[in-house]
Structure 1
Amino acid sequence: MNIPSAYIHIPFCQQICHYCDFTKFFYNERLADEYLTALEKEIHTYIPGEKAKVNTIFVGGGTPTALNHAQLEKLLETIADHFLIEECEEYTFEANPGDLDLEKVKMLKAYGVDRISLGVQVFDDAMLEKIGRIHKVADVYTNIERLMQVGLTNVSIDLMYGLPGQSVADFEKTVDEAMQFGLPHYSSYSLQIEPKTVFYQRYNKGKLVKPPEEDEAEMYELLQRKLAANGVSQYEISNFSKPGYESKHNLTYWNNENYYGIGAGAHGYLPGKRTVNIRPLPAYVKEAMSSGKPILHEEPVGLKERMEEEMFLGLRKTEGVSTSQFTEKYQRKLSNVFGDAVPKLKSRGLLEETEDRIRLTERGRILGNEVFQEFLID
């Protein structure tokens, strides 16, 4: 089974952010030890023999770097035991500023990690505290300096906008400070208020107010403008990079390609099916240790769903969807599958079409959901 990518989930955090709805638990040394043993069992079930060759590995969370030194090394050894790291094109670890002491940074580098995604969010200590982050702005500077010191220069940082109490001027300050690092990659997301989060509870009680929609739109436009002015091009709705530094792992998702989803709550996309793993930690550990397959749910993915997702995901990219590649992949012309969807969206100014590509216009990016629903097949 040739699967080009692997996502590995580490659900532990030192602090639960108020907006986060990913599978996460407060760090506990004993539970983390048990989890890593169960995780190794799950990986071994997928890859029982020779090491797997994958193009990308992404270790996310939670906060993978919340693990202690011994646990982090065990995780890195487990991955190295099952994947051909030397043939991997991109090996990313998520990290929180403040978690990366010099020993951890050197360890990541020694085991072949070549890309770091830092959850910075904002360059404002008061706002960081308000959204439940425990790092300070100074930690960002310290951690990036350590990464550069050991040669881990392929660094991405995440930024957030549309936060409670955040003005356009506040976000502009964050973007300007982020640009000073001259990093090769930036991601930026507007706050989504998700169920089972602290912010969701506050929102329902009327104790949380987001900025007006027009302010959010202005923040997004400001982000696009300032990054472009600094030679950082937008290649996806929320992602920007210098040439050649696009996230290869995330492009696996947007190109609708297969990937392993390993760990509590992880989603995988294997040939012909999607998998969702058990989320609660004790249940995940128990099932992974007994069967090696802690899967909560499997959903078959037929041709119809694959073609729909090709459009939903592919149109997130700035370059859009190639009509010739669509035909080659599915043995059907895009126009025959989706009827008048493209001309209809072009007439509304939401799509534009070149000789071989269909992509969102600037207006289409803002109204993406309206575009995507046109590519649902009856």
Structure 2
Amino acid sequence: MAAIKTGLIGFGRMGNFYLEEMRKSGKFEVVYICDVNEEACELARRVAPEAKVVSDEQIIFDDPEVQVVGLFALADSRREQIERAFAAGKHVIAEKPIADSMENEWKAVELAESTPLLSTVNLYLRNSWYHKTIKDFIAQGEIGELAIVRVCHMTPGLAPGEGHEYEGPAFHDCGMHYVDIARWYACSEFKTWHAQAVRMWNYKDPWWLQCHGTFENGVVFDITQGHVYGQLAQTQTHNSYVDIIGTQGIARMTHDFKTAVVELHGVTQTHRLIQPYGGKNIDVLCRRFARSLESGERCRELPSFRDAAIASEYAWRFLEDARRNDLPSIGNLGELEAIRERRRTMKNGYGLLHQRHV
């Protein structure tokens, strides 16, 4: 099959990642890169001289040779871009969330489900080797009946005001990935929940949240997420894991953003697997998307717009519930400014906002 002609809209951090992985795959030909920021356009011209660099996204939609558009700009632009892409007969790969409000997200779902065109969204944990390994282990019956799903992701990460304008507080922008993966493990829909959060540094929105509850099939969950984990510590660290508990055995994973360790303790098997972490797993997403286009049959492992909308909606619901449950404020804005100042000059750390260089 000939290379899939693709246009990328938005050439920030994620747009760069997609360009790199699409090139490596050999399945895609990036023929357009679009950004309204001149610095981003200059970078695109330098790193992708084979692509046409434009500031008007309509050029991409109007080109009949473009088969796929990648939507990697801010969330407030995505619903309209999704509509225009489908109207122009283009398949769509989108970042999450798929729009800037739940109303627009569900409109995007409706658009996707009323067209034969292929669409997917980067819910990257579904594309990870470690979660797939654990899910396969569960399917073998090694842990008995699934009972409890525990997910934790705490890092220094993005500080308030550093990029969550349209994506929401940390538990929505980042945490919706963990809401999604808990639902993916349970193979059921959320039924009950109780959330507690804290407004760190007296910021207006909570930056740490823990939620526990049940799914309709009785599986219990707890999710903890926050970008508050030692922001001003001399040496930064993090705490990220998944802990899957069955009636007979367990499976768990930890990672250091370089290497992931999976431990499987089943009734007949015990394994300890160590492999590279895999980052955002964009290579896997692109490979599955290309395979779906080539075969004409959607890969069942591709996340859907509906998956993204459900994860987004429940992340918002959990945040709303936390606001009703005594949302304390701890710390002060002076500490937050010290964090921001430190992050402006840091060379190594978590979720740093790297400056573009041309």
Structure with greater helix percent: 1
Question: Would the TM-score normalized by the shorter structure come out above 0.5?
Answer: no
Instruction: Specify which structure has the bigger relative contact order, considering alpha-carbon pairs within 8 angstroms and separated by 6 or more residues.
Output: 2
TM-score for both structures, normalised by structure 2: 0.31
Structure with greater strand percent: 2
